[in-house]
Structure formats: structure tokens, C-alpha cells
Amino acid sequence: MNDRVQTIDNSFGRDYIVSAEQRNKVLRNTYWLLALSMLPTVLGAWVGISTGITRSLGGGVGLVVFLAGAFGFMYAIEKNKNTAAGVPILLAFTFFMGLMLSRMLAMVLGFKNGSEIIMMAFGGTAGIFFVMASLSSVIKKDLSAMGKWLTVGALVLMVGAVINVFVGSSAGMLAIAVLAIGIFSAFMLYDLKRIVDGGETNYISATLALYLSVYNVFQGLLMLLGIGGSSDD
């Protein structure tokens, strides 16, 4: 009986029915692609740490490279989300993001407890994702109104992060890390609930949104734990 439940999606002012089978398929494909996307991320991080290719990408230069690359890839992914090129472009994007993360990972690995910090950040991210995935399956309330507020929060966070690149404040970095964890944890719940409710029917777009949330939560935890770890070094 429940497998035949249908929902109405009013996205972009259009009404169409999304079956439970389709919603479950999108969710299943999203989880698989999200898991797969971790492999290029790890590979990119390993390449970056091994070669030191991102070592010189500090300050404004690193920021420009990151923003240009990230937004360029995101545009290409959305442009090709309904074609065969969508998945390869997404995986190339996750390799790039791993490469960009390698500079921070290399710095953390320089601490005495660097490996432990990375594993704690990974475990914390996995735990947050599990909680948000569980909540998305039991919460009945429509969370679509969260979207605009979370987007505003993410934009404010990005501006603050850009400013802090040039200011170099440890307190600012701590505040950014805490806000990133909070905002992108909420984004996980929001995006997962959209899939569950039938509001997102493209698994490539869904994976991109969730990947960005997972990436930012992990990076926030890494910053937060790294600041404490550096004082113990």
C-alpha cells in the first residue's frame, strides 16, 4: 500500500505527481553516487598531499582558484545533470575538491595528533549525516521554508570566510567553523527531506547538494578540531 503513495511537487510553479517508487529510486541512487564520490575526493587529497601541488595556493590566489574551479564545475554539473556526462563531471569535481582540501589536511597531519583529528572529523561528519538522514525519514513537517534562510546563511558565511582569508583571525576561523557545521548540517536535513518528499527528482543534483554539505561539515570539524590540536603541538 505505502509503495503506491504519491506526492505533489510544486517546484517552480508546476504540479506533477512523484511516486513513492521514484522517490525511493532517487534516494537510493543519491546514496550510491555520494558514496562513490568519496573515492575521487580521497584520491585528490592524496595527490595534493603527496605532490604538494596546493602548498603555494594560500591567501587570495588559493581563494580565486577554489572559487573559480568550484563554481565552474557546479555550473557544468547542473548543465549536464540529465546527460551521460553528468556523473563523470561530478566525480571530476569531487577530485578537485579533495585536491583543494589537501592543504588543510597536510597542515593538520603536521600536528602530533593529526591523524586522530582527521579520523574524529570523519567520524563526526558520518554521525551528523546519519542523524540528519534518520530525521528526514521521520519528520512529517514541510521544511521547504528553510531553504531561503539557509541560503542566506551560507552566503553570509562565504563572505565571512573570504574576509577572514585576508584578516587571518583565529577567532574568526573558529566562528566560521562552528557556523559552517551548523548551517550545512541543516542543509543535509533540508536536501534529504526534499528527496524524501519528492521535491528533488534528479539524483545528480541531489548528490551535488549533499556532497557540498558533507564536505563543508567535514572541513568545519577539521578546522575546529585543528585549532585545538595546534595548541597541543
Domain of 210 in residue numbering reads as 2-232
pLDDT in the model for residue 24: 87
Average pLDDT score over residue span 76-97: 95
Q: Looking at residue 230, what is its pLDDT? A: 55
**What's the pTM?**
0.86
**150-154, 212-216, 217-221: least confident range:** 150-154
Structurally, the chain folds into a number of domains equal to 1
**Residue 100, Cα to own-chain centre: how many angstroms?**
13
- The string over 21-58, giving b where at least 16 C-beta atoms fall within 10 Å of a residue's C-beta and e elsewhere, is eebeebbebbbebbeebeebbeebbebbbeeeebeebe
The secondary structure of the chain in percent helix, strand, coil, rounded to multiples of 5, reads 80, 5, 15
Residue 56 pLDDT > 90 = no
List the Cα angle 68/219/120 in 5-degree steps.
160
By mean pLDDT, which of 56-60, 87-91, 201-205 is the weakest?
56-60
The pLDDT value recorded for residue 3 is 41
pLDDT tens, position by position, 8-52: 444 444 444 567 788 889 999 999 999 999 999 999 999 999 988
- The Cα-based distances of 11 to 8, 17, 194, 222 in angstroms read 9, 11, 10, 35
Q: How many CB atoms lie within 10 A of CB 118?
A: 22
Question: In the structure, what pLDDT confidence band is assigned to residue 205 with cuts at 50, 70 and 90?
Answer: very high
Over residues 199-204, the mean pLDDT reads: 90
H or E stretch covering 19: strand 16-19
CA separation for the pair 94, 215 (Å, rounded): 9
Q: 125-161 pLDDT, tens per residue?
A: 999 999 999 998 898 888 888 888 999 989 999 888 8
Residue labelled with grid coordinates 543519491: 30
